[in-house]
Amino acid sequence: MKLLKPLIFLLLIFVLQSCDLIPLKPGIWKDEKIDAGKRKDIHALNDQLLKNIKAGDQSAIEGMLSGNLLESNYKRPVELVGNHLKDGTYSLYSEYYIVNQLKHKEFIKPNADSAGLDYSAVAKEMYIALLLPKEPANKYMITIVYGKFDYGWKVDKLEVGKYSENGKNTTELYKEAREQQAKGYLVNAANLMGMARECAQPSDELKPAFDREMGLFYSTLIGLLNSHYTYPITISGVPTQPKIFRIENQSVNVGTYPAVCYLSKIDIKDTVALKRENEQVKKVIGNIIPGIDKDKDYMLYNIYNQKPNTTSNAYSYDVTVKLK
């Protein structure tokens, strides 16, 4: 019995070493197709990283980073991830386990295009975690890229990118823009396409979602807008005749909505008179810009006495209108 125990121990070591020596087949595995044991181990590693970032434990964070990341400006992406973790509860949206092929001392990606990935192959084994929050309508995706190096699994990249506006991703915004254009609401459609383009690549590791078809549609919309509207646009029907000089998307705490920016002759300090004028503007704005006050929860007004530019510090009186 005394001899049997050392033999069993040596056999176990041999089996484990043999497992490490088994060649890994190049490929990309996504979500539940990843080996359950490997998935569990990396999830634990990922949870620890997020815990360290939330706690601001710099020493523990650095211990989880690759040599390449430590040599770069890693503090800024760590700070960005930490800031966004405060937006709400982040959970795993999607994940990839990758085995790259080593060829001529370089790692070759195994048909990454078919998986919708566009990543740098930094190690033979890699893992990519994509996380999204539950709470805000305007969501930012956190991407964490791991590589298995000679010194173990380490974080090689951290990034944050916009994923959705008002709860909709690029594809959903594009679909809604098509619907708005069909109604003749050109400004709404163009604003939605602007948001779709901003959400098109929430992670550098993913292929952009804003494709050629979307680009052509957006270009057509801009052409139609330029033929229909010439700034400044006088808001006829209002005695003071304020003039619209810009319509743009603006992000506020309730989401991203169109802001109508116009010049008023009323002193910016006379808020009572500005409110009275704005009530008149609200009644006719749909005639001036069809659809601008429809099919959305809010819209905004930025009222100025002088047009803002890079050199002037023009002040505005801002109004948020709840439409639904």
pLDDT of residue 242: 98
Which whole number is the average pLDDT over 121-146? 95
Answer whether residue 224 shows pLDDT above 80: yes
Which CATH architecture group holds 230-324?
Answer: 2-Layer Sandwich (3.30)
Q: For a pLDDT cut of 90, what percent of the chain falls above it?
A: 84
* Distance separating alpha carbons of residues 153 and 125, to the nearest angstrom: 9
Task: Output the CATH code of domain 19-162.
Answer: 3.10.450
Structure confidence by residue, pLDDT tens digits, 72-124: 989 999 999 999 999 889 999 999 999 999 887 789 999 988 889 999 999 99
pTM of the predicted model, to two decimals?
0.87
Answer whether residue 131 shows pLDDT above 90: yes
**Poorest-confidence range of 107-116, 126-135, 160-169?**
107-116
* Distance separating alpha carbons of residues 226 and 270, to the nearest angstrom: 34
- Dihedral angle of Cα 23, 28, 31, 37, to the nearest 10 degrees: 10
User: Any idea where the domains of the chain sit in the sequence?
Assistant: 19-162, 170-228, 230-324
pLDDT of residue 205: 97
**Poorest-confidence range of 23-27, 33-37, 62-66?**
23-27
Quickly state the pLDDT bin for 23 (edges 50, 70, 90): low
DSSP SS3 for 157: strand
Answer whether residue 9 shows pLDDT above 50: no
Answer whether residue 19 shows pLDDT above 80: no
Widest CA span in the chain: 103
Structure confidence by residue, pLDDT tens digits, 188-217: 999 999 999 999 999 999 999 999 999 999
* Distance separating alpha carbons of residues 90 and 160, to the nearest angstrom: 12
pLDDT of residue 4: 46
Which whole number is the average pLDDT over 276-293? 97
User: What is the full DSSP assignment across 161-196?
Assistant: EE--BTTB-HHHHHHHHHHHHHTT-HHHHHHHHHHH
Answer whether residue 5 shows pLDDT above 90: no
